[in-house]
Amino acid sequence: MVEITIRKRSQTEAVITQRKFFKKTARGKVVKVLRERYLRDDVGCGIEGCRECASSDEELLPVNGDLTHQSYPNGHYILPDTNVFLSQMDLLESDRFRSPMILLQTVLEEVRHRSLPLYNRLKALTKSEDKRIWTFYNEYRSETAIVREEDETPNDRNDRGIRIATAWYNTHISLTRPPIRGQTKNAPPTVVLMTEDAANRQKAEQAGISCISVRKYVEGMKDASQLLDLLSATGSDDVEPTRASGRQVLYPEYLSSATLMAGVKAGELHQGHFNPNPYNYLEGTVSVPAFSKPILLAGRENMNRAVQGDIVVVELFNEKEWKAPTDEVVDQEATLKNDDAEDSAEEGDENGEDVIAKESRVLRSAQVPVSERQPTGRIVGVIKRNWRAYVCHIDSTSLTSTLTTSLSTQTVFATPVSRLLPRIRLRTRQAPSLLNQKILVTIDRWDTTSRYPEGHFVRSLGKVESKEAEQESLLLEYEVPYRPFGKAILDCLPPEGDSWVVPSKGGGDNHNVWRDREDLRDVIVCSIDPPGCQDIDDALHAKLLPNGNVEAGVHIADVSHFVLPDNPMDSEAAARGTTVYLVDNRIDMLPSLLGTNLCSLRPYVERLAFSTIWELTPNADIVDVRFTKSVIQSKAAFTYEEAQIRKDDPHLQDELTKSIRLLNSLAVKLKAKRMTAGALNLASPEVKIHLDSAESSEPIDVEQKELRETNSLVEEFMLLANVSVARKIDESFPQTAVLRRHLPPPKTNFEKLQDILRKTRGLTLDVSSSGALAASLDKCIDPSEPAFNTLVRIMATRCMLSAEYFCSGSVGRDTFGHYGLASDIYTHFTSPIRRYADVLVHRQLAAAIGFSPLHASLHSKSHVEKVLDVVNRRHRMAQMASRASVEFYVGLALKGRGEASKARGEGEVREEAFVIRTFRNGVGVFVSKLGIEGLVTFTRDIQFDADNYTVTVPGSASAGSKEDAKISVFDKVVVQIEVEKDKNTQRGKVKMTLIEPVDSRAL
């Protein structure tokens, strides 16, 4: 691409426009800007060998354009308008789409204004080596630059500019290729305006400009059958008509955005994110500030085409019509399995009536006491769609033909992997070959006449259950950026690469690395981590002082020495936010040269660190704390287990062991103090996957994670460092300190758990404060069942809000507290290799101790807020991705175990489980040994006592019991676990059946 440099104005270059405006600088100063646009005659057309335009070294458009399109035998280039880039990016990005393309500056700027994500994709496209795209600076070339006319809208102005540029190109091509004497003149290639706007096409045709719609264009291409699948239905005025839409209005129209805004402002309507119910596709909720309980939406009509995460506006029903959520599992795949993808299947056909009857039965409000009802309403508008590309499977039953040779268009259902999403209807010519594949699908539209959203196929990720496809789909599903680091980022690394060392003190220190750094190389420092840890963020030491106190130090990798503010590596780390750990893979936040080598506090080598050093009394009270940049040389890298063994071995009396014992004795006291202050001991199901070998990564077994004293040792000192650093940076930068808080949960979150505990076990949960909660959780024990307490803790943890990063100047000081840790202030300082917030905290701490000045961006509240918004989001997604990765491997391990067990003639895997929920038609169970949840549904009628969270299964000989069996929440049951392939989607699904107290297979 050519960069335009504006030269000094010459006589012939006239000023075409002058624009004056005021601009606020980052520092808040207002400056006047005068922008003049100069015109030039040397803006190149980009066509190879053009006689008139100066050639450049950049990649050019081929001289004859593209010769493979049916409609343009003499060759052509396409010139898409803005809407084509806005709505058909999946098509343009496809490897099969190779047409040479002219991108107008007008179009590029319009895309930038309309959508930043699409603009970034477009920029990436122009840099891609597989594409031939020329950016033509039409606004700077005298013949193509235009000025907006009076009573012309900006839109019309741009459309006119695009038509003028297309016409200019065609004239330019014919003028620069005069006929050569003695040769028959071939018609020159055409520049074709590509637009979905019929009115614009008409105007272009009148002006003699060749133009085409996207669909017509793709139909004439070589790979038409595959490429047509990629077409998005949005913004297109010649969509193939489907039988499925356009018949009958199924959903209410949305209100206008002005009405929505006014309603929200007046408090008559409510705005919030739409959360579908994972157990029942016919229900969803929207949390809004006006109510402590979320607003319930029951039925598809009231959910009115909202998709998970959409920002919606809700109208509340009259209080008499409020409902309680249903206690039933309603699976869309099962309920809607006979739906015909080609048809809206609403009225008049048997299946449609069936579905409606079933749905309305579910929705019929059971007689619930007024106290259990919650605000109920309907969605009247969508402020912002959360649509993205979803990982799906094609539902094989929706295919009309499975012949792989058939390339006819079929309308099929794509079932998203996530239970929170509706099925998506899409048209494809390759349906048979997409069966058993994981595919990526985007939603394009959801009309009032269509029961399902409509979308298009983006690409295939590979075969279902292949590790590659599963892993990539997981990263896509949780929006984890996983592209390899680009050159600009890698260029920020030290040029010495892995031979970089800490320079010797004195003469060799050309970059002043030792300036203001303490030499702690002789201190007996070690690190304690999980086995196989390569990115060692932290190391510790402790020693007795002559006055009887203890000096303890936490040394953290000095990442901010290598990652400088605002360079490409820093921006990438900020965008990634965190390293993502999957069972068999790690998606790094920083290039591995830093993460696993130069920053990693490996043993026996000198490393730069940021140290927090305390003087503590033997009772673990802080006498003094200081912070310093340092150079350390770790003396050992232990696993938790190794450190534990060493600490417990009475024969060992070396300095290192003594240091671990000292740290441990302090950690025990620190923990006791935290607990006294009301910290919560929370639990989440954590399991460990054993992999066969690094290469095959076949899981062989699952076990619960074992926690040792040494885990706690490291944790306590990290917490202490984080709290000490938080106080320091908050004191120095009260407006922009990067902190972390955990808001207390709304009391209503615990209502159900409290009620269940009271009714089933006679236990009370006091949630008046975190201390009270901690104490009452301690009392939730069942002497005969040690796992019961952990289960209650897991359930209580789910009632909490999640912790979040925030900017100290952006929220009230009374909300700084960390509820779970019972600390009045907190931050993250100890893992800068894998968390970006810590990198910011390091920069703030370095400035707070006068080591280096604070970068301007960290003085800006709005900048810090913006960065932390991204980081918070990335953290949530990373956690979900890790969990999903564990679930996938648990599934594989179970499958392996099941096969092995069957081979031994022992039948399927059986495990003990706890009931954690009861439904009208089943129970939810938790298998603590495997850390997984499952659902057991009963097809035959059972009695459901919602008040007492109990289902009663009538006795029958086949179920192994003549007596009625009562099953309540917290009961221990035995389930059989199988991994079976879903017939329709071919994905492996964990299926659980109840074996004890009754055999649900007979029900």
Instruction: Name the burial class of residue 321, with classes exposed (0-12), middle (13-18) and buried (19+) by CB atoms within 10 angstroms of its CB.
Output: exposed
Exposure string of 291-310, with b = 16+ CB inside 10 Å and e = fewer, is eebbbbbbebbbbbbbbbbb
Angle, to 10 degrees, between the axis of helix 116-127 and the axis of helix 105-114? 140
Closer by beta carbon to Zn ion, 186 or else 248: 186
- The distance of closest approach from Cβ of residue 59 to Zn ion in the complex, given in angstroms and rounded to an integer, is 15
- The distance of closest approach from Cβ of residue 172 to Zn ion in the complex, given in angstroms and rounded to an integer, is 6
- The distance of closest approach from Cβ of residue 562 to Zn ion in the complex, given in angstroms and rounded to an integer, is 46
- The distance of closest approach from Cβ of residue 54 to Zn ion in the complex, given in angstroms and rounded to an integer, is 9
Closer by beta carbon to Zn ion, 53 or else 608: 53
For residue 28, give both structure tokens: 């808040």
For residue 413, give both structure tokens: 């259902």
- The distance of closest approach from Cβ of residue 141 to Zn ion in the complex, given in angstroms and rounded to an integer, is 10
The DSSP letter of residue 502 is P
List CB contacts of 981: < 8 A, sequence separation 6 or more.
987, 988, 989
What distance in Å separates the CA atoms of residue 102 and residue 78, rounded to the nearest whole number?
Answer: 6
Give 778-822 as a DSSP string. Answer: HH--BTTBTHHHHHHHHHHHHTSPPPEEEETTTS-GGG--BTTTT
- The distance of closest approach from Cβ of residue 55 to Zn ion in the complex, given in angstroms and rounded to an integer, is 9
Contacts for 618-624: CB closer than 8 Å, 24+ residues apart: 618/548, 618/549, 618/550, 619/669, 620/666, 620/669, 620/670, 620/673, 622/724, 623/549
Q: Residue 608: what are its φ and ψ, rounded to 5°? A: -80, 140
- The distance of closest approach from Cβ of residue 378 to Zn ion in the complex, given in angstroms and rounded to an integer, is 58
- The distance of closest approach from Cβ of residue 16 to Zn ion in the complex, given in angstroms and rounded to an integer, is 21
Closer by beta carbon to Zn ion, 52 or else 655: 52
Closer by beta carbon to Zn ion, 45 or else 520: 45
Closer by beta carbon to Zn ion, 42 or else 519: 42
Closer by beta carbon to Zn ion, 51 or else 779: 51
Closer by beta carbon to Zn ion, 41 or else 648: 41
Three-state secondary structure of 581-611: EECCEEECCCCHHHHHHHCCCCECCEEEEEE
Q: Which amino acid is at 406?
A: S
Closer by beta carbon to Zn ion, 50 or else 297: 50
Please list the alpha-helical segments (H only) found in 482-558: 487-490
- The distance of closest approach from Cβ of residue 8 to Zn ion in the complex, given in angstroms and rounded to an integer, is 24
List CB contacts of 620: < 8 A, sequence separation 6 or more.
666, 669, 670, 673
- The distance of closest approach from Cβ of residue 77 to Zn ion in the complex, given in angstroms and rounded to an integer, is 12
Tell me whether strands 943-945 and 950-953 are parallel, antiparallel or unpaired. Answer: antiparallel
- The distance of closest approach from Cβ of residue 138 to Zn ion in the complex, given in angstroms and rounded to an integer, is 13
**What is the binding site for Zn ion (CB under 5 A)?**
45, 50, 52-53
| 8 Å CB contact between 572 and 585 | no
Closer by beta carbon to Zn ion, 75 or else 922: 75
Please list the alpha-helical segments (H only) found in 88-213: 89-93, 105-114, 116-127, 154-175, 198-206
Closer by beta carbon to Zn ion, 52 or else 519: 52
Closer by beta carbon to Zn ion, 62 or else 299: 62
Question: In what helix (H) or strand (E) does residue 64 lie, and over which residues does it extend?
Answer: none
Closer by beta carbon to Zn ion, 172 or else 843: 172
Give 880-925 as a DSSP string. Answer: HHHHHHHHHHHHHHHHHHHHHHHHTT--SEEEEEEEEEEETTEEEE
- The distance of closest approach from Cβ of residue 169 to Zn ion in the complex, given in angstroms and rounded to an integer, is 9
What distance in Å separates the CA atoms of residue 167 and residue 805, rounded to the nearest whole number?
Answer: 54
